[in-house]
């Protein structure tokens, strides 16, 4: 199977899994997010271990998944927000582990172990918060967000490979260009306008602003992941998605864009 066909099939299955879970039921989407969080945290942990040595991935997974479970139960009305206090003892797990493990540079390992859920699981939790921004699960808002992310990614790629000449940030990502960045933003703004016209959710300026936010922070997320991969000397974060790399390669933009879009809808939606 050639690379283009492999990428296309994987892309279709990937989009189908995300969009399908959103449409089917909140629990289905929650389970997909939980799977993404597990795979993403394991990927990031293994990358960091290549550079910095053994980390406490168990503590990272427990903290990250606990936060996602609490957000899900909270947004669905199953628990009171006072339950979030259980997170504090979990934050101390890497500290206690290093206290008894011994060895050099314990606080470096503590910081990296805490970085994993903060980088992966915490921003993924904002997806559910965005979907439940009006008190009930609204699939259209989440679908709209992912459509913006995918349009930005596709638009930036198509324009970049076609007419891209001026490097956006060559030191970190030599293939990204300003033409691709602007092209991605135009594609995404058009998508934002179309989403508003179809759904009439919120107001037009919020969706246009969301498109701009997704373009800017999605690009930053992509560059941060490129910086991470350069730091550990690899091309892809993993190989679980044939033709697309790892989970981090597909969700790098989502991780940075989701919290910002949530803030936008809270303040102006």
pLDDT digits (tens, 9 = 90+) for 26-75: 999 999 999 999 999 999 999 999 888 889 999 999 999 999 999 999 99
> What mean pLDDT comes out for the span 188-205?
92
- The least confident of 95-104, 133-142, 244-253, 256-265 is 244-253
| Residue whose entry in the numeric block shows the structure tokens 């980390």 | 55
User: Going by C-beta distance under 8 Å and a sequence separation of 6 or more, which residues neighbour residue 37?
Assistant: 64, 65, 68, 120, 121, 124
- Where does the pLDDT of residue 240 fall: very low under 50, low under 70, confident under 90, or very high at 90 and above? low
Q: Is 233 helix (H, G, I), strand (E, B) or coil?
A: coil
Q: SS3 for 173?
A: strand
Q: Which residue has tokens 């980088």? A: 119
Of 99, 120, 142, residue with least CA distance to 36 = 120
Higher-pLDDT residue of 138, 234: 138
Phi/psi at 132 (5° precision)? -110, 30
> In this predicted structure, what is the pLDDT of residue 4?
52
According to the model, what pLDDT value does residue 134 have?
A: 78
CA distance 117 to 63: 7
Most confident of 19-23, 48-52, 201-205, 239-243: 19-23
| Cα separation, 192 vs 158, whole angstroms | 18
Place of tokens 């300026």: 205
Q: What is the mean pLDDT of the chain?
A: 89
Q: Report how many domains make up the chain.
A: 1
Strand, coil or helix: 177: strand
Instruction: Characterize 35-47 residue by residue with b for buried, 16 or more Cβ atoms within 10 angstroms of its Cβ, and e for exposed.
Output: ebbbbbbbbbbeb
User: Residue 46 is encoded by which pair of tokens?
Assistant: 């293994």
> Residue 266's closest CA among 129, 68, 122?
129
Burial class (CB in 10 A: 0-12, 13-18, 19+), 183: buried
Scan for tokens 């101390």, then name that residue. Answer: 92
Q: 72 vs 8, 83, 173, CA distance in Å?
A: 32, 12, 35
pLDDT for 150: 93
Sign of CA dihedral 165, 211, 117, 142: negative
Evaluate if residue 6 carries a pLDDT over 70: no
Distance, CA of 105 to CA of 55 (rounded, Å) = 11
Domain containing 75 equals 3-268
What is the average per-residue pLDDT within 138-156?
A: 93
Tell me how far apart the 2 most distant CA atoms of the chain are, in Å: 59
């Amino acid at each position: 199977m050639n690379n283009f066909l492999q990428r296309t099939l994987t892309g279709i299955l990937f989009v189908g899994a995300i969009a399908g879970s959103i449409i089917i039921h909140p629990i289905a989407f929650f389970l997909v997010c939980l799977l993404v969080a597990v795979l993403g945290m394991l990927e990031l942990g293994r990358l960091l271990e290549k550079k910095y040595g053994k980390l406490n991935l168990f503590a990272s997974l427990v903290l990250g998944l606990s936060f996602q479970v609490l957000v899900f139960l909270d947004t669905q009305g199953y628990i009171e927000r006072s339950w979030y206090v259980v997170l504090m003892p979990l934050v101390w797990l890497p500290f206690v582990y290093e206290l008894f493990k011994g060895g050099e540079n314990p606080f470096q390992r503590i910081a990296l172990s805490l970085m994993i859920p903060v980088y992966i699981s915490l921003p993924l939790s904002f997806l559910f918060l965005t979907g439940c921004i009006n008190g009930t699960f609204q699939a259209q808002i989440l679908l709209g967000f992912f459509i913006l992310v995918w349009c930005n990614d596709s638009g930036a790629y198509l324009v970049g490979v076609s007419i891209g000449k001026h490097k956006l940030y060559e030191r970190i990502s030599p293939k990204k260009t300003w033409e691709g960045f602007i092209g991605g933003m135009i594609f995404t703004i058009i998508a934002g306008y179309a989403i508003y016209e179809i759904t009439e959710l919120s107001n037009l300026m919020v969706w246009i602003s969301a498109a701009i936010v997704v373009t800017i922070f999605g690009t930053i997320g992509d560059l941060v992941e490129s910086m991470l991969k350069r730091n550990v000397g690899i091309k892809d974060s993993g190989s679980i998605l044939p033709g697309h790399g790892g989970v981090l390669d597909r969700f790098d933009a989502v991780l940075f864009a989701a919290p910002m879009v949530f803030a936008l809808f809270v303040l102006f939606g």
